[in-house]
Amino acid sequence: MDKISVTLGERSYPIIIANGLLHDPTSFWPLSRGDKAMVVTSDCLASLYLGILYELLTELGVIVDQCILPDGEQYKSLAMLDKIFTTLLQKNHNRDTTIIALGGGVIGDIAGFAAASYQRGVRLIQVPTTLLSQVDSSIGGKTAINHPLGKNMIGAIYQPNSVVIDINCLTTLPRREFSSGLAEVIKYGIVFDANLFAWLELNIDALRALEQHTLAWCIRRCCELKAEIIASDECEKGQRVLLNFGHTYGHAIETNMGYGNWLHGEAVAAGMMIAVQTSCSLGYLTNTDAERVRMLLLRAGLPIQGPTEMSLEDYLPYIIRDKKVIAGQLRLILPLTLGSAEVRTYVANELPNFT
């Protein structure tokens, strides 16, 4: 079992990584006998893991309720958030309850936002079941729901009490979803860690084959990077903003194409490649490094360009509303070399041409 700490003073919490944690009662700190918990999950995951988790929690003496949501990005909505609140109220959950987010990024985001909001904040345990959520979205406290005009526009930063990563969950993950998660892994290499990027070039095939030792090392390294960043910049005033590399364009793709039609990692991969090409055109990143990024994304089973039906004009409304816009100026994250990136600021009519 690996344990990594996200160091935030009194709000510090562990990230626990191992095989078989859904069968290990000691993993679910701070729950104990007599506590009450609400498991929030999706209908497809309920059939796979809800019974296992329910048995484990009842063995601990925890009183367990459940809220099952439809599966998909299009359901990360105000209506589904209200369903969670309604279930909590109907089952008489108080401020001492714990919400357990059992699922991928969608479940983690919406259940986390519910935990941040319900009775002004209750305990939260993230149990990420996808690669994307295990290496990125379950860590750091970003919670949100989508709006038809923009992704993740309504939410809060609210840290969990713990993150429980059972690597075995990846064995039931559809291949497309696994590739989607690899986009966030590759992001870390491009923006923060050139050695990780080089390691991925050597080990991407083993990762896609679910080789256990390779998976465990990769997940741990990404969690270490994310934990370091959150500890130094919890509220995205500095280095944390670099984690949004590729997301400005990616969120525009997801929203414009309809939530769920492009997976988050697919849209981010296309967005990263747009940012890479932009960096090359401005004279920052070399063509050689850009080609390395392109090849790694292809080998990971990810797209390297946005939807052909989207023009620059289609991107602009979402880019202008991006959460990184400050005083009318858009901050784009552009890689300078592999393992290093910086923020560049533009106004709307000065945006680099990325079509």
Q: Find the catalytic residue in 264, 292, 323, 331.
A: 264
- Tokens, residue 264: 């988050």
Would you say 264 is a known binding-site residue?
Answer: yes
Answer yes or no: 120 catalytic.
yes
Q: Of 95, 28, 104, 98, which Cα lies nearest the Cα of 69?
A: 104
Q: Find the catalytic residue in 19, 93, 123, 184.
A: 184
Q: Find the catalytic residue in 142, 221, 323, 331.
A: 142
- Tokens, residue 212: 């256990």
Q: Find the catalytic residue in 226, 292, 323, 331.
A: 226
How many CB atoms lie under 10 A from the CB of residue 3? 11
- Tokens, residue 114: 């519910």
Contact indicator for 225, 192 with CB cutoff of 8 Å: yes
E strand residue ranges, the chain: 2-6, 13-18, 36-42, 63-69, 98-103, 123-128, 142-147, 150-157, 162-166, 329-337, 340-347
Would you say 73 is a known binding-site residue?
Answer: yes
Q: Find the catalytic residue in 19, 152, 161, 244.
A: 244
Answer yes or no: 251 catalytic.
yes
Would you say 106 is a known binding-site residue?
Answer: yes
Would you say 169 is a known binding-site residue?
Answer: yes
Would you say 159 is a known binding-site residue?
Answer: no
Q: Find the catalytic residue in 146, 187, 221, 236.
A: 236
Would you say 213 is a known binding-site residue?
Answer: no
Would you say 305 is a known binding-site residue?
Answer: no
Would you say 313 is a known binding-site residue?
Answer: no
What are the distances in angstroms from CA 182 to CA 37, 96, 205, 266, 268? 31, 36, 11, 9, 10
DSSP 47: I
Q: Of 167, 135, 125, 153, which Cα lies nearest the Cα of 38?
A: 125
Would you say 170 is a known binding-site residue?
Answer: yes
Answer yes or no: 226 catalytic.
yes
Would you say 223 is a known binding-site residue?
Answer: no
Edge-to-edge strands, sheet with 162-166:
2-6, 13-18, 162-166, 123-128, 98-103, 36-42, 63-69
Would you say 323 is a known binding-site residue?
Answer: no
Q: Find the catalytic residue in 10, 33, 59, 120.
A: 120
Would you say 320 is a known binding-site residue?
Answer: no
Q: Find the catalytic residue in 123, 187, 247, 331.
A: 247
Would you say 141 is a known binding-site residue?
Answer: no
Q: Find the catalytic residue in 187, 220, 221, 251.
A: 251
Answer yes or no: 91 catalytic.
no
Answer yes or no: 184 catalytic.
yes
Report the alpha-carbon distance of residue 57 to residue 59 in Å, rounded. 5
- Tokens, residue 217: 């090392």
Would you say 224 is a known binding-site residue?
Answer: no
Would you say 136 is a known binding-site residue?
Answer: no
Answer yes or no: 236 catalytic.
yes
Instruction: Mark the binding-site residues, compressed into ranges.
Output: 71-76, 105-109, 129-130, 142, 151, 169-172, 184, 247, 264
Instruction: Mark the binding-site residues for NAD(+), compressed into ranges.
Output: 71-76, 105-109, 129-130, 142, 151, 169-172
Residues labelled as active-site residues: 120, 142, 184, 226, 236, 240, 244, 247, 251, 264
Instruction: Mark the binding-site residues for Zn(2+), compressed into ranges.
Output: 184, 247, 264
